[in-house]
Amino acid sequence: MANPLFDTLFGDHLGSDAIFLHLPDGETLSYGRFLEIAATYAGAFAQFGLQPGDRVAVQIAKSPQALAVYAACAQSGLVFLPLNTAYTADEVAYFVENSGAGLVLTDTAMRDALKPITDRCNARLETLNRDGTGSFADIAADLPTVFETVNRTSDDLAAFLYTSGTTGRSKGAMLSQGNLLSNAQTLVKEWRFTSDDVLLHALPIFHTHGLFVATNVVLLSGSQMIFMPKLDVDQLIANMPQATTLMGVPTFYTRLLDDARFTKERAQHMRLFVSGSAPLLAETHVQFEQRTGHRILERYGMTETNMNTSNPYDGERRAGTVGFPLPGVELKITDSKTGKSLPQGEIGDIEVRGPNVFQGYWQMPEKTAEELRPDGFFITGDLGQIDADGYVSIVGRNKDLIISGGYNIYPKEVELVLDEQEGVLESAVIGVPHPDFGETVLGILVAQPGQALDLDSIKNRLGASLARFKQPQQLIVLPELPRNTMGKVQKKALREQFAETFAP
């Protein structure tokens, strides 16, 4: 195969009149027309002198054109580097410098701020706006709507995804064509996607969830997407009768449940709801099933690997777990000090190996060696356990482990107990410095709407479920927890905010 990624995801759709995207204005875009746009973009890349393997950094709003840039990169053999649209120019500077991007695509509003950066990095700067206008679109408009696909192999790089950088500088995870393709092929089969499906797409496309999971699965199965610029509950509910599937983060589901218009009748046309990128509360599982009759399918993935595990399509979707390793993916729980596998049921480091695992971190050989073992197992940094039935549970991040007075405390265990307390909507447990214990437990609570929390009463009840050393020294109530774009609680921010709580 000349170009595995492009030929497999896009090749069969060339010239097709089948609908690919349903757009917010009520218009539709066929697969064939979408690929004609992508071909003109690929022609522009060639005109700029970009060569296979060069990086294209993209910080543009979600749109069909933004998605076409991804297709054009695949067809041209270029490395696609999507960036969070919320990043400032200073933040973007690091990614452009680190990646050595040859081209930066941005919104017109950001052009002046990025120009000094691209000049310094000797990168070309062009604009592409949400409405499809911009200097890049102008150049591409005069180019042919066909492009000769560049030969690549499964081992060639297709994308860089930079980690969120919660500890130190972001790392550029190098993903090959084979990494992306193998994962999409597995998910289409495991989640039963066919050309009859219509996916509600309200996720960003600068993240693996919205791009390499949702979009690639649709492309591979030849299904359709209702392509929403962002999460809009009104539009999500309005479009649901025309859809069959939804991929979202927990926020999608809590906001749907908060809306009385979201009923069993409204969801009756749906066959699958998938959640990921952050843990889903057990209460949300229960409420969702009671409301709709559907059991949300929770899965586990990350920037460096795409998807690793999934609850079963057929079979029990067990709340609080992320299901089983996907076919072709090996997962084991190991001791962080020795690297040896731990007995079933014990908590340890999650390591994974498979065709989905990335190639390493760009220009960071030491970091790659630290996290990617010679035998191919990737040390994810997540702590987990496998129960007697083989279901995998995520306990937390290794860096979130609390060591108090020599005892290991896993935040998730404490959070599960706090979440069950009367009036508590959700919780986050962190370790903060303590003069006697080195580190101690702090519990951050968010109250359910209209509820006032009795903190003394909650603390008194914890003794029945938690050993004394695991119990929070203090409980603090916040209106909400800090989260990143994908809904993941930012514990680093909480640790910084409350670092002086027990200062002498």
Share of the chain above pLDDT 90, in %: 78
Task: For residue 356, give the amino acid letter.
Answer: N
Q: What is the DSSP string of 42-69?
A: HHHHHHTT--TT-EEEEE--SSHHHHHH
pLDDT of residue 1: 59
Mean pLDDT score of the chain: 93
For residue range 42-66, list pLDDT tens digits in order: 999 999 999 999 999 999 999 999 9
Report the CATH fold assignment for 198-397.
Answer: Rossmann fold (3.40.50)
If you average pLDDT over residues 173-193, what whole number do you get? 97
For residue range 213-227, list pLDDT tens digits in order: 999 999 999 999 999
Q: Where are the domains of the chain?
A: 4-18+30-152, 198-397, 401-497
Q: Parallel, antiparallel, or unpaired: how do β-strands 407-409 and 402-404 relate?
A: antiparallel
pLDDT of residue 416: 86
| Domain at 401-497, CATH homologous superfamily | ANL, C-terminal domain (3.30.300.30)
Q: What DSSP character marks residue 211? A: I
If you average pLDDT over residues 23-45, what whole number do you get? 97
Judged against a pLDDT cut of 90, whether residue 358 lies above it is answered with yes
If you average pLDDT over residues 130-140, what whole number do you get? 97
Whether pTM > 0.75 for this model: the answer is yes
Q: Is there a common fold for 4-18+30-152 and 401-497? A: no
Share of the chain above pLDDT 70, in %: 98
Question: Distance (Å, rounded) from C-alpha 221 to C-alpha 218?
Answer: 5
**Neighbouring C-beta atoms of residue 144, cutoff 10 Å:** 11
For residue range 270-307, list pLDDT tens digits in order: 999 999 887 787 888 999 999 999 999 999 999 999 99
pLDDT of residue 166: 40
Report the CATH fold assignment for 4-18+30-152.
Answer: Rossmann fold (3.40.50)
Question: Distance (Å, rounded) from C-alpha 88 to C-alpha 92?
Answer: 6
Contact 374, 334 (CB under 8 A): no
For residue range 427-464, list pLDDT tens digits in order: 999 988 887 677 889 999 999 999 999 999 999 998 88
pLDDT of residue 400: 81
Judged against a pLDDT cut of 60, whether residue 167 lies above it is answered with no
- Token pair, residue 219, equals 């492309």
For residue range 72-119, list pLDDT tens digits in order: 999 999 999 999 888 888 889 999 999 999 999 999 999 999 999 999
If you average pLDDT over residues 147-174, what whole number do you get? 86
Question: 164: pLDDT confidence band, cut at 50, 70 and 90?
Answer: low
Judged against a pLDDT cut of 80, whether residue 486 lies above it is answered with no
